[in-house]
């Protein structure tokens, strides 16, 4: 399995460099904390780029693997590596963290040192989750992530922050409790005496055991995604968290749940995944429509985006459990897209909150006149969230819907309804925020974006259009791994997959149509 990295521990370097930044922050003066945080997270971004450059797209095997024994009995390894599923998420994390440092530049005024430390520890933990190849190691990173996030929400958050922080912590902790038991049960029932994720994926488990384990995994991952009806912590956490916290939470942490489904539930428990697909699909469709419906009712911008996240993450789980190449590739792409788009929206809200200190739509309306540049960015991200063709989310949602269509026309139709609802609530929100009547009391506080804020949003806009117009580089990265995943599923698939319909009208561009042709799986 080991595709070696040429010996150089790239992955370890990427994961633990932020901790080096933490050490530097501890030694330096408080005023330097932001600069060191920015430097450390930027270096991590630079160091993570070679992973992409040197990534071999033709194989599904783990790459840049490092494996060292950590504990002898039971055999637990420090094993890390990336494949086509985890690499996009690793890059997303390293890309967003410097932006989070930048957006906190002036908005975090107290205890800056601790904030930067929390942010960097959080980066290490989330990167660790995506690259861990040992189940215990995965769990350790998965849980470690809770502490810095708890502090970020609870210390630097809004008025109701303590409640939100504790709710976030207990909800996710309670969810992951069963995961630990499931990991231990897997260890004993595989008979391999290993916690190695790839080894555990190759063992066969009895259908009854699979069913139990599936729901144990589900408890952990569904809370994190969050899937309906386990989403109630999300609006609270998002609303109360500082901007950087919201961005990391929405863009990266939610992906840990869907990543868990892809990495563990599908390959390890194929029978159970298949037999419970209707339930998950139903919950996903409910999440899409319910999230959109709730978003209508919100007068708080952050809450609106939070509920739109619930809706968008519904598309991701929908795509994953469609269990075909289109669905899963669309889901992974949608994970990245949601990270960029929702990250962008939260950053926009953060920027306006710094000026008006209000997240209410009514206080922040009519921005087009006073802040034209800002309004442009805001519209771009909002339209991307709607899934306007030519922008990133369209590609992802299109693939997901295509995959779902193959599974069930009815589910796809309902999910498509979610897209329409999204268009409605986003456009209504845009109408009020961008073109509404400016609030008199706020007008004096409004000024257009400064260079730092430009610097935060421009890279995101770049990716919005890049993925929207030419998603091939990102899709190429995931092909081999997704194929491999599908192969494992196909072996046990009993349902007949109808021939996929690729009408000419749906073809986006040359590149993506070639993708479809190549990746279409036939029964």
Partner 1 sequence: MSIPLVDLTTVLPELLVVLAACVLFVLDPIMPASKKDFLAWMCVGTLVVCFFVTAAGMGEKTFAFSNLVVVDSYASFWKLLLYVVSGMTILLSIGYLKEERIDLAEFYGFIMLSLTGMMIMVSGSDLLVIYLGIELMSISFYIMAGFKRFEAKSIESSAKYFILGAFSSGLLLYGISLIFGAAGSTRLVEIAAAVDARGLDDPLVLIAMMLIIVGFGFKVSAVPFHMWTPDVYQGAPTSVTAFLAVASKAASFAAFLRVLLEGFGGVKPNWSGFILGMCILTLILGNIVAIVQNNIKRMLAYSSIAHAGYALIGVVVAGWMGTEAGVASRGVSSIMLYLAIYSFMTMGAFAMIAILRRGGLEGEELDDFTGLAKRHKGAAFLMMVFMVSLAGIPPTAGFIGKFYLFMAAVNAGLTWLAVVGLIFAAVSAFYYLRVVMVMYMREPSSDQELETRLAFSPTATVVLAFAVAGVILLGIYPGPLVSVATSSAISLP
Smallest distance from the beta carbon of 177 to partner 1, in angstroms? 4
Contact call for residue 154 and partner 1 (CB under 8 A): yes
Shortest separation between residue 140's beta carbon and partner 1, angstroms: 4
Q: Give the interface segment with partner 1, choosing from 80-88, 160-168, 250-258, 273-281 (CB under 8 A).
A: 160-168
**Under rule CB under 8 A, residue 307 binds partner 1:** no
CB of 75 to partner 1, least distance (A): 11
Closest CA to 95 of 252, 259, 302: 252
Nearer to partner 1 by Cβ, of 33 and 371: the residue is 33
For residues 280 and 282, what is the distance between their CA atoms, to the nearest angstrom?
A: 5
Among 169, 221, 398, 425, binds partner 1 (CB under 8 A): 169
Q: Tell me the window of 56-64, 169-177, 268-276, 509-517 that interacts with partner 1 (CB under 8 A).
A: 169-177
Q: What are phi and psi of 378, to 5 degrees?
A: -60, -45
Interface with partner 1 includes 187 (CB under 8 A)? Answer: yes
Residue 448 structure tokens? 């257009």
Stretch in the footprint of partner 1 (CB under 8 A) among 9-17, 86-94, 95-103, 165-173:
165-173
Binding mask 113-132 for partner 1 (x = CB under 8 A): -x------------------
Nearer to partner 1, 27 or 72 (CB): 72
Bridge partners (DSSP) of residue 132 are 80
- Rounded to whole angstroms, the Cα distance separating 328 from 482 reads 7
Cβ neighbours of residue 153 closer than 8 Å, sequence gap 6 or more:
161, 164, 165, 168, 237, 240, 241, 242, 245
* Nearest-5° Cα angle at 355, 350 to 358: 70
Check residue 184 for interaction with partner 1 (CB under 8 A).
yes
DSSP 476-513: HHHHHHHHHHHHHHHHH--SPPPPPP--GGG---HHHH
> CB of 391: closest distance to partner 1 in angstroms?
39
Q: Tokens in use for 64?
A: 């840049």
DSSP string, 27-67: HS-GGGHHHHHHHHHHHHHHHHHHHHHT--TT--S-EEEEE
Return the number of the residue (161 or 303) whose C-beta is nearest partner 1: 161
Q: Which residue has the tokens 């419906």?
A: 293
Q: Return the number of the residue (195 or 374) whose C-beta is nearest partner 1.
A: 195
Compute φ and ψ for 50, nearest 5 degrees. -55, -30
Size of the site for partner 1 (CB under 8 A): 34
Q: Does the footprint of partner 1 cover residue 181 (CB under 8 A)?
A: yes
Burial 400-436 (b: 16+ CB within 10 A, else e): bbbbbbbbbeebbebbeebbebbbebbeebbebbbeb
CB of 206 to partner 1, least distance (A): 14
Name the minimum Å distance from CB 288 to partner 1: 29
Examine residue 143 and tell whether it contacts partner 1 (CB under 8 A): yes
Q: Is 173 in the site for partner 1 (CB under 8 A)?
A: yes
Q: Which is nearer to partner 1, 114 or 519 (CB)?
A: 114
Contacts of 352 (CB under 8 A, 6+ apart): 301, 364, 367, 371, 374
In the bound state with partner 1, the residue whose beta carbon lies nearer, of 139 and 264, is 139
Residue pair 249/333 in contact (Cβ under 8 Å)? The answer is no
Largest Cα–Cα distance in the chain? 69
Q: Contact region for partner 1 (CB under 8 A) — 181-189, 268-276, 301-309, 368-376? A: 181-189
Q: Does 144 help bind partner 1 (rule: CB under 8 A)? A: yes
Contacts of 123 (CB under 8 A, 6+ apart): 18, 41, 44, 93, 94, 97
Of 91, 100, 151, 482, the one binding partner 1 (CB under 8 A) is 151
Taking the least distance from each CB to partner 1, the nearer of 111 and 472 is 111
Interface with partner 1 by CB under 8 A: which range of 149-157, 254-262, 263-271, 371-379?
Answer: 149-157
Tally of CA atoms within 13 A in the half-sphere of 368 that contains its CB: 11
Query: Does the protein bind partner 1 through residue 454 (CB under 8 A)?
Result: no
Stretch that binds partner 1, among 79-87, 144-152, 240-248, 348-356 (CB under 8 A): 144-152
Q: Which of residues 324-343 bind partner 1 (CB under 8 A)?
A: none
Q: Nearest distance from residue 355's CB to partner 1, in Å?
A: 26
- 69-88 positions binding partner 1, by CB under 8 A: 70-74
**218 three-state secondary structure:** helix
Q: Is residue 34 within 8 Å of residue 105, measured between CB atoms?
A: yes
Q: What interhelical angle do 161-190 and 146-156 show, nearest 10?
A: 170
Euclidean distance between CA atoms 367 and 48, whole angstroms: 37
Binding mask 96-115 for partner 1 (x = CB under 8 A): ---------------x--x-
Q: Minimum distance between the CB of residue 81 and partner 1, rounded to whole angstroms?
A: 20
Which residues form the interface with partner 1 (CB under 8 A)? Answer: 70-74, 111, 114, 136, 139-140, 143-144, 146-147, 150-151, 154-155, 161-162, 165-166, 169-170, 173-174, 177-178, 180-181, 184-185, 187-188
């Amino acid at each position: 399995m080991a595709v070696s990295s040429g010996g150089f521990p790239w992955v370890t370097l990427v994961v633990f460099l932020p901790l080096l930044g933490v050490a530097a922050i501890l030694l330096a003066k408080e005023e330097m904390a932001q600069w060191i945080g920015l430097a450390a997270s930027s270096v991590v971004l630079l160091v993570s780029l070679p992973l992409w450059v040197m990534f071999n797209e033709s194989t599904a095997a783990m790459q840049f693997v490092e494996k060292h024994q950590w504990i002898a009995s039971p055999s637990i390894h420090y094993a890390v590596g990336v494949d086509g599923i985890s690499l996009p998420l690793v890059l997303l994390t390293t890309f967003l963290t410097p932006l989070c440092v930048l957006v906190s530049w002036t908005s975090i005024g107290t205890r800056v040192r601790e904030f930067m430390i929390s942010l960097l520890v959080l980066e290490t933990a989330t990167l660790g989750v995506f690259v861990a190849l040992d189940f215990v190691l995965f769990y350790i990173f998965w849980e470690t992530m809770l502490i810095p996030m708890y502090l970020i929400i609870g210390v630097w958050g809004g008025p109701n922050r303590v409640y939100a922080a504790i709710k976030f912590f207990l909800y996710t902790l309670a969810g992951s409790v069963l995961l630990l038991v499931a990991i231990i049960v897997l260890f004993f029932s595989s008979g391999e005496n290993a916690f190695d994720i790839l080894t555990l994926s190759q063992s066969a488990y009895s259908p009854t055991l699979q069913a139990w384990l599936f729901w144990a995994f589900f408890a952990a991952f569904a809370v994190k995604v969050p899937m309906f009806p386990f989403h109630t912590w999300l609006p609270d956490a998002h609303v109360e968290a500082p901007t950087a916290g919201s961005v990391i939470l929405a863009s990266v942490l939610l992906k840990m749940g869907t990543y868990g489904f892809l990495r563990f539930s599908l390959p390890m428990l194929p029978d159970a995944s298949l037999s419970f697909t209707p339930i998950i699909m139903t919950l996903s469709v409910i999440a899409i429509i319910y999230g959109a419906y709730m978003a209508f009712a919100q007068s708080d911008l952050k809450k609106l985006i939070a509920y739109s996240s619930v809706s968008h993450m519904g598309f991701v789980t929908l795509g994953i459990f469609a269990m075909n190449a289109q669905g899963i590739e669309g889901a992974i792409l949608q994970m990245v897209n949601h990270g960029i788009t929702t990250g962008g929206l939260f950053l926009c809200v953060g920027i306006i909150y710094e000026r008006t200190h209000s997240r209410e739509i009514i206080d922040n309306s009519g921005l087009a006149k006073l802040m034209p540049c800002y309004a442009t960015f805001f519209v771009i991200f909002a339209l991307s969230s709607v899934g306007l063709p030519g922008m990133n989310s369209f590609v992802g949602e299109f693939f997901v819907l295509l995959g779902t269509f193959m599974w069930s026309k009815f589910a796809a139709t309902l999910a498509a309804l979610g897209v329409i609802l999204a268009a409605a609530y986003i456009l209504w929100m845009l109408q009020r925020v961008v073109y509404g009547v400016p609030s008199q009391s706020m007008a004096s506080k409004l000024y257009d974006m400064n260079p730092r804020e430009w610097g935060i949003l421009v890279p995101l806009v770049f990716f919005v259009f890049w993925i929207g117009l030419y998603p091939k580089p990102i899709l190429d990265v995931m092909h081999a791994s997704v194929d491999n995943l599908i192969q494992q599923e196909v072996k046990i698939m009993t349902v007949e997959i109808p021939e996929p319909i690729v009408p000419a009208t749906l073809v986006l561009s040359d590149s993506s149509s070639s993708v479809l042709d190549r990746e279409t799986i036939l029964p």
